[in-house]
């Protein structure tokens, strides 16, 4: 081990930092593409369809951070169900989280759960996800949440 070993250690460190920064930037870019081309159009299609059931909805997004679908109780201006896809801070790959938040009835406090987004889906597959597959996931969560609320003894 030569006297200059510390210099190569230092260079390796800075090279690795550069790689990590590049991965983080690519991940944010990929997330924004996922939002623009898959999630937003899916959410918009669902919001349009839910008008037939007197349910108002809206979609919000924060670039590089999350995309959020909010659905209200039928015929009311009170939020009922939230489906939020989150890109965790400093992600170096597209490993997304899903937050589900909702109220059992218009007067109850919102409850929130969090877990992996579409468990079993590998990071590269997320950009190949179809709108239909995403919509099926949203509807499944919405349905399960609503059924639990309808049958809750609280």
Task: Report the domain count for the chain.
Answer: 1
Categorize the per-residue pLDDT at 152 as very low, low, confident or very high, splitting at 50, 70 and 90: confident
Average pLDDT over residues 118-134: 93
pTM of the model: 0.91
Domain that holds residue 95: 5-150
Burial class (CB in 10 A: 0-12, 13-18, 19+), 38: buried
Mean pLDDT of the chain: 94
pLDDT tens sequence across 56-87: 999 999 999 999 999 999 999 999 999 999 99
DSSP state of 14: H
pLDDT tens sequence across 10-46: 999 999 999 999 999 999 999 999 999 999 999 999 9
Q: What is the phi-psi region of residue 47: left when phi exceeds 0, alpha when psi lies from -120 to 50, beta otherwise?
A: alpha
Rounded to the nearest 5 percent, the helix, strand and coil shares of the chain are 45, 20, 30
């Amino acid at each position: 081990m030569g006297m200059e070993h510390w210099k190569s250690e230092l260079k390796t460190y800075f090279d690795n930092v550069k790689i990590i920064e590049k991965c983080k930037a690519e991940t944010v870019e990929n997330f924004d593409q996922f939002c623009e081309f898959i999630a937003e159009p899916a959410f918009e299609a669902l919001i349009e369809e839910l008008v037939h059931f007197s349910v108002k909805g809206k979609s919000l997004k924060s670039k590089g951070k999350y995309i959020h679908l909010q659905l209200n109780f039928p015929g009311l201006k009170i939020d009922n169900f939230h489906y939020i896809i989150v890109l965790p801070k400093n992600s170096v790959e597209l490993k997304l989280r899903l937050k589900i938040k909702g109220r059992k009835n218009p007067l109850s406090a919102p409850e929130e759960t969090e877990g992996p987004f579409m468990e079993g889906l590998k990071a590269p597959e997320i950009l190949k996800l179809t709108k239909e597959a995403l919509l099926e996931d949203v509807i499944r969560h919405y349905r399960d949440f609503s059924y639990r609320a309808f049958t809750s003894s609280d």
